[in-house]
Amino acid sequence: MASPRLTEPVPQRIRRQDERPVLPPNVLDREVREQLERVLASPVFRNSKRNCSLLRHVVERTLDGHQEDLKERAIGIDVFGRAIDYDTNADHIVRSVAGEVRRRLAQYYMEPDRESEIRIDLLAGSYVSQFRLPARQLNSVAVVSPVELPPPPVAAIPVPRWRSWPVIGAALAMAICVLALWLAWPKSAFEKFWSPFFSSANSALLCVGGGQSNPAVPIDPQIPMADFERQPSRHMHVSDAMALAGVAGLLQSNGKPYRILNRAGATSFKELQSGPFVLIGGMNNEWTLRLTEGLRFTFERGPNGARVADKQNPSNTAWTVDPTTPMSQFNRDYAIVSRVRDPKTEQPAVIVAGIGSWGTQAAAEFVSNPENLKKLEAVAPRHWERKNLQVVVATDVIRGSSGPPTVLAAWFW
């Protein structure tokens, strides 16, 4: 009887699922997305809209590097349209659908010939997806039972060993190098400052200070249009408007969706809980005054005017603006830039706030200009991008216009 060919499959081959190496997000971005479409189009998934929606959401968020947003409440809001304050203990739709997705994925990969595909898993106990290489690329991790093979025919040509181990080793080394370069690639100061803000999956909110209005008081329908236009709630300082335009342009150029809220006095606490937000304005923005009250640098009104106060150095009165100063003599304004994870709203917050509108404009320029943020990095500690921070800046005012911001102090925690 003829001897079996060496290229025939060896019987009793067992592949261990847990030894297939996990792919970091973005390493095979296109291939993983193609595999996702293949899974969603299969009979196992295609008839369940909510299973498809959840799986697509978690895979795309993982590939985009937004794993920190894959929390039960966030998924309930983004995928299933739940209210921001819904009770996750009473409404367990996310947990239920996630369990069903895991079962369907297991069923999908039990079908014949699935070992040649990238495997997508939804980790138990979390909502982060995991990707594994096709089993056909992992000859080195296959476990083969010992089988007696007869000696090959004399004329048989041996299979060169260099076609397996060196090639696989080179491929793995290259993948490790690519991953190391990706992780070690330096981020700019601009990217570090805005990374907590841009990594949020929700739209950004822009809240501008200005004339106050009481939303509980209805508008008199008989008020003349001209009188309505003169109300404080209809006005915005030109420097605040320029600060708003600068921040809005920054978000738009980086693909971050946003919406502009009404005046600070008409903005609710619930609105600020719905996504990352930027507060524009200092003494004229009550949300700025509330949220900076517990921080090191804050705003205070005193007998000599308004100032930026330092709680660690309360005797410092250098950062003070006297509102009675004639414009011909007024030449300097001060501002606070804050980037914090606000504990009250549980959202990333950026605050650009001046004592006067000139300081607000200078603060907005500071966070919008990459060159200015390099000045911050020069005085920042290691891994400052992971910390909360506050910066005190000053700007010279010349003939009613603000100049470039100058860093006076910075605090990281």
Residue-level pLDDT at 3: 42
Instruction: Give the span between the Cα atoms of 117 and 120, in whole angstroms.
Output: 9
Please check whether residue 351 is in contact with residue 294, taking contact to mean a CB–CB distance below 8 angstroms: no
Which tens digits make up the pLDDT trace of 203-245?
A: 898 988 865 544 445 567 777 877 666 666 666 777 888 888 8
Higher pLDDT residue, 294 or 152? 294
Residue-level pLDDT at 328: 86
279: nearest Cα among 354, 366, 388, 358? 354
Instruction: Give the span between the Cα atoms of 379 and 282, in whole angstroms.
Output: 24
User: Which token pair is 274?
Assistant: 């719905």
Residue-level pLDDT at 60: 92
Instruction: Give the span between the Cα atoms of 23 and 131, in whole angstroms.
Output: 5
User: Which token pair is 138?
Assistant: 């992992």
Instruction: Give the span between the Cα atoms of 179 and 173, in whole angstroms.
Output: 10
Helix (H/G/I), strand (E/B), else coil: 103? helix
Give whichever of 2-6, 196-200, 358-362 has the largest mean pLDDT.
358-362
Which tens digits make up the pLDDT trace of 299-322?
A: 998 888 899 999 999 999 999 999
Contacts of 272 (CB under 8 A, 6+ apart): 205, 207, 287, 342, 345, 347
- % of the chain at pLDDT higher than 70: 77
Please check whether residue 259 is in contact with residue 276, taking contact to mean a CB–CB distance below 8 angstroms: no
Which tens digits make up the pLDDT trace of 331-388?
A: 999 999 999 998 888 899 999 999 999 999 999 999 998 888 988 888 888 889 889 9
Higher pLDDT residue, 181 or 376? 376
User: Which token pair is 109?
Assistant: 């990969």
> What single letter denotes the amino acid at residue 209?
G
Neighbour tally for 27: CB within 10 Å: 16
Neighbour tally for 360: CB within 10 Å: 33
Instruction: Give the span between the Cα atoms of 230 and 237, in whole angstroms.
Output: 14
The number of CA neighbours under 13 Å toward the Cβ of 5 is: 5
Confidence of residue 269 (pLDDT cuts 50, 70, 90): confident
The whole-model pTM stands at 0.54
- Worst-scoring range by mean pLDDT, 77-81, 261-265, 350-354, 358-362? 261-265
132: nearest Cα among 22, 221, 250? 22
Higher pLDDT residue, 148 or 124? 124
Per-residue pLDDT, averaged over 273-283, amounts to 90
Contacts of 43 (CB under 8 A, 6+ apart): none
Residue-level pLDDT at 231: 64
- Worst-scoring range by mean pLDDT, 174-188, 250-264, 272-286? 174-188
Confidence of residue 162 (pLDDT cuts 50, 70, 90): very low
Higher pLDDT residue, 160 or 334? 334
Per-residue pLDDT, averaged over 141-148, amounts to 37
Using the predicted structure, report yes or no on whether residue 139 has a pLDDT greater than 50.
Answer: no
Contacts of 40 (CB under 8 A, 6+ apart): 46, 52, 55, 56
- Worst-scoring range by mean pLDDT, 4-18, 65-79, 96-110, 312-326? 4-18
Please check whether residue 364 is in contact with residue 405, taking contact to mean a CB–CB distance below 8 angstroms: no
Instruction: Give the span between the Cα atoms of 175 and 208, in whole angstroms.
Output: 47
Which tens digits make up the pLDDT trace of 87-131?
A: 888 899 999 999 899 989 988 988 887 888 899 998 777 899 888
Helices (H) and strands (E) in the chain, counts: 12, 16
DSSP per residue over 348-385, as a string?
Answer: EEEEEEESSHHHHHHHHHHHH-HHHHHHHHHH--TTGG
Please check whether residue 115 is in contact with residue 136, taking contact to mean a CB–CB distance below 8 angstroms: yes
Residue-level pLDDT at 144: 35
Residue-level pLDDT at 300: 93
Using the predicted structure, report yes or no on whether residue 71 has a pLDDT greater than 80.
Answer: yes
Instruction: Give the span between the Cα atoms of 334 and 356, in whole angstroms.
Output: 8
Using the predicted structure, report yes or no on whether residue 327 has a pLDDT greater than 70.
Answer: yes
DSSP per residue over 194-236, as a string?
Answer: HHHHHT-SSPEEEEE--S---TTSPP-TTS-HHHHHTSGGG--
User: Which token pair is 147?
Assistant: 């089988």
Question: Taking all residues of the chain, what is their mean pLDDT, rounded to a whole number?
Answer: 80
Burial 291-304 (b: 16+ CB within 10 A, else e): bbeebbbbbbeeee
Per-residue pLDDT, averaged over 191-199, amounts to 87
- % of the chain at pLDDT higher than 90: 31
Q: Which helix (H) or strand (E) holds 279?
A: strand 277-280
Task: Give the start-end residues of each E strand in 303-388.
Answer: 305-310, 320-321, 332-342, 347-354
Confidence of residue 270 (pLDDT cuts 50, 70, 90): confident
Per-residue pLDDT, averaged over 261-290, amounts to 84
Residue-level pLDDT at 13: 37
